[in-house]
């Protein structure tokens, strides 16, 4: 019984922390915004953007799932 109550309290506080972390506030400073950004997310977004630009310029061809399936299976 106490374990269930503790579990519910932990889940509630976890949800509140997530809401507060990603809440958009108009008076948020640049430092506050940079705290939410991780190096991994910056790398992932820049990689996706580079791939998109390469495909648009014709430097890199978008691989289809059919091509990958037939080549490696």
Percentage with pLDDT > 90 across the chain:
8
CB atoms within 10 A of CB 60: 13
Supply 41's token pair.
């997310």
Please tell me the total number of residues recorded for the chain in this structure.
73
Question: What are the extents of the domains in the chain?
Answer: 2-72
Virtual torsion, Cα 19, 22, 25, 26, nearest 10 deg: -160
Q: What is the mean pLDDT of residues 4-32?
A: 80
Q: How confident is the model at residue 62 (pLDDT cuts 50, 70, 90)?
A: low
pLDDT per position as a tens digit, 27-37: 567 777 777 77
| Neighbouring C-beta atoms of residue 54, cutoff 10 Å | 13
0.75 exceeded by pTM: no
Main-chain dihedrals φ then ψ at residue 59, nearest 5 degrees: -75, -35
């Amino acid at each position: 019984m106490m374990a269930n109550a503790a579990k519910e309290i932990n889940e509630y506080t976890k949800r509140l922390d997530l809401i507060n972390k990603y809440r958009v506030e108009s008076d948020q400073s640049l430092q506050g915004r940079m705290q939410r950004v991780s190096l991994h997310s910056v790398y992932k977004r820049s990689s996706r953007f580079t791939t998109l630009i390469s495909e648009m310029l014709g430097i890199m061809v978008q691989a289809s799932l059919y091509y990958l399936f037939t080549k490696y299976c």
